[in-house]
Amino acid sequence: MFELSSDHEDFRQAVRDFAEQEVAPHVAQWDRDSYFPSELVPKMGEMGLFGIVVPEEYGGTREEGAFTYLCLAIEELGRVDQSIGITLSAGVGLGINPILTFGDHAQKERFLPDLVAGRALAGFGLTEPEAGSDAGATKTRARLEGDQWVVDGAKAFITNSGTDITSVVTVTARTGQREDGRPEISAIMIPAGTPGFTVEPPYRKLGWHISDTHGLTFENCRVPEENLLGARGHGFRQFLATLDDGRIAIAALAVGMAQAMLEQSTEYAKTRIAFGRPIGVNQGVSFPIADLAVSVEAARLLTYKAAWLKDELEAGRRTSAEVKNAAAMAKLYATEAAVSATRTAAQVFGGNGFMEEYPIARFYRDAKILEVGEGTSEVQRMLIGRGLGLPS
């Protein structure tokens, strides 16, 4: 069940080679400069990374096991740099997937070919300044005037939303009130450059310095009625489904980080000499690295299982409830393992682990957001509890 095919392994190696050749030589400088390398995105498109889950009709290469391929790509990019990994993860899971899953044929034809080719990126606007884990508290509003949606509100922490190749951001907005008194929430696509759509200055972040992240504001922002994504009032449900897939992708990103920390800690423990011998001979060093190896393996198996279940769901052989539960477990365990992995690596490296000349510091800064984005660890525990039948 957990054995990857030879095609999967060949693909993994191809992405690893790409990451080592196209990302690794530049990533330290990009991180220092907080520079988003938009020139890298078309290269990722040429490799087919953005089209893994997209049918050929729209320029993709989707085949059996597609979601597992995507997770392997995210893991291998994340092993070299987390910002580049999240660029792919968000570009596909949060940018392409809502349009692919819920869009009509005209919407797919309009946006997907450029997104798949890496000529463009798309964003996903759910989080707001006062609506994070409580996504149902959305305050952004959209009213229908004639044949146009008029959008007013704000979004926060939106990835891939302000690059020079961003083409569209899909946002949730209140479009009315349901019969039970709760807000009707719909999803609306807002192309970049639309009057009234303002991309705020980039955030100054603890980590993910290379990733593009902005707040967004909408003031009397008008888009055509046909920019509604899916059915009116189904936006919240659509975005929750999107987040299930995103959680598996974040777990894969975390596995890449933990793997990097394992490799670098092991190599350093073999070569760093103290008291006339490699520090790896000391149990105080070797035992934490051994524990790290166990957590990497466990995180990878949970993530691969969740990805496999997602592929099985696409084939009609599993249920969405199984995927939701597996995604929450993988996201919870893998992200917390990744944070622990950076602490272990920093301790193994000693003073050097605190220095920016070594990649440990960059990974350490990048780690914490993994436990927050796509649903906090607390949210994942809540979802797992519900899956066990505990009262909510």
- Which residues are identified as catalytic? 374
124-232 classified as CATH 3.90.550.10: no
- Within 10 angstroms of residue 125's Cβ, the number of other Cβ atoms is 27
With beta carbons less than 8 A apart as the criterion, state whether 255 and 299 touch: yes
CA–CA distance, 392 with 389 (Å, rounded to integer): 9
pTM for this entry: 0.96
Class of domain 6-121: mainly alpha
The one-letter code for the residue type at 47 is M
Give bridge partners of residue 213 from the DSSP assignment: 159
Tokens of 308: 């496999």
Query: Which run of H or E residues covers position 148?
Result: strand 148-159
For domain 236-387, the CATH superfamily is Butyryl-CoA Dehydrogenase, subunit A, domain 3 (1.20.140.10)
Write out the chain's pLDDT in tens, 392 residues: 567 899 999 999 999 999 999 999 999 999 999 999 999 999 999 999 999 999 999 999 999 999 999 999 999 999 999 999 999 999 999 999 999 999 999 999 999 999 999 999 999 999 999 887 776 789 999 999 999 999 999 999 999 999 999 999 999 999 999 888 889 999 999 999 999 999 999 999 999 999 999 999 999 999 999 999 999 999 988 988 888 899 999 999 999 999 999 999 999 999 999 999 999 999 999 999 999 999 999 999 999 999 999 999 999 999 999 999 999 999 999 999 999 999 999 999 999 999 999 999 999 999 999 999 999 999 999 999 999 999 98
With beta carbons less than 8 A apart as the criterion, state whether 123 and 95 touch: yes
Domain boundary assignment for the chain: 6-121, 124-232, 236-387
Burial class (CB in 10 A: 0-12, 13-18, 19+), 212: buried
Tell me the chain's radius of gyration from C-alpha atoms: 21
- Least Cα distance to 84 among 258, 201, 209 occurs for 209
Burial class (CB in 10 A: 0-12, 13-18, 19+), 376: middle
H-only helix segments in the chain? 6-18, 27-33, 40-46, 66-80, 82-90, 97-102, 105-117, 235-271, 283-314, 320-349, 359-367, 377-387
3-state secondary structure of 8: helix
